[in-house]
Structure 1
Amino acid sequence: MTKHRIYTMSITRVYPHYISKAEKKGRTKSEVDEIICWLTGYRQQELEGQLAKETDFETFFAEAPQLNPSRELIKGVVCGVRVENIEEPTMREIRYLDKLIDELAKGKAMEKILRK
């Protein structure tokens, strides 16, 4: 079985799209970064280092310092698929991130996005 191409894609390539999607709806880059850090456990400086290294998604999530246990509370549909039903762990993490960015762009409050 071959890996989905998103696994080998650099997060640096997709990151500007996350920011653009958020900013079009009046949200900020710092909110996008807060979401990514909440999900993965990276500190801001570590996130910036991963972006500078152009780390691929598979490595980005594999090296995440501490995946947030509350991420399993993320439910809903992304790209026509329910995130809670995705069995492959790396794809599920990628879709969790997509779902959180979608929630940000839809105007959801940060405390709800971060499952507080």
Structure 2
Amino acid sequence: MIDSGTDINLSVLEKYVGDYLLDVNLVKPEKAARVSVAICGKQLCLTVADEYSVQVWPRSESLFFHQTSEFTIEFVRNDEGLVSGCIITLGGSRVNGIRATPSAEDESH
């Protein structure tokens, strides 16, 4: 059975939308990596380095997973409670990312 995740309010998903710069490109290690996060229905869609797209489902309010691979993304908040980055895990590799674009919640502070 495929895990369909947890229901998350759209306002929570909106806080994660934007671009994140990764330490390492999981798709093409020779290129700098940017992950773009968008909302697709009740899930998030990620585009890595403008080449590889994946849809992820919420496991919790901050942790999202791909249904058929070991790919996860966890969004991290700073001391002020704002989304400041992410941690991507794929096949045992872990990559940190920092937020490159402000979110709506950043702009309201």
**Taking structure 2 as the reference length, what is the TM-score of the superposition?**
0.26
Point out the structure with the larger helix share: 1
Structure showing the higher strand proportion among its residues? 2
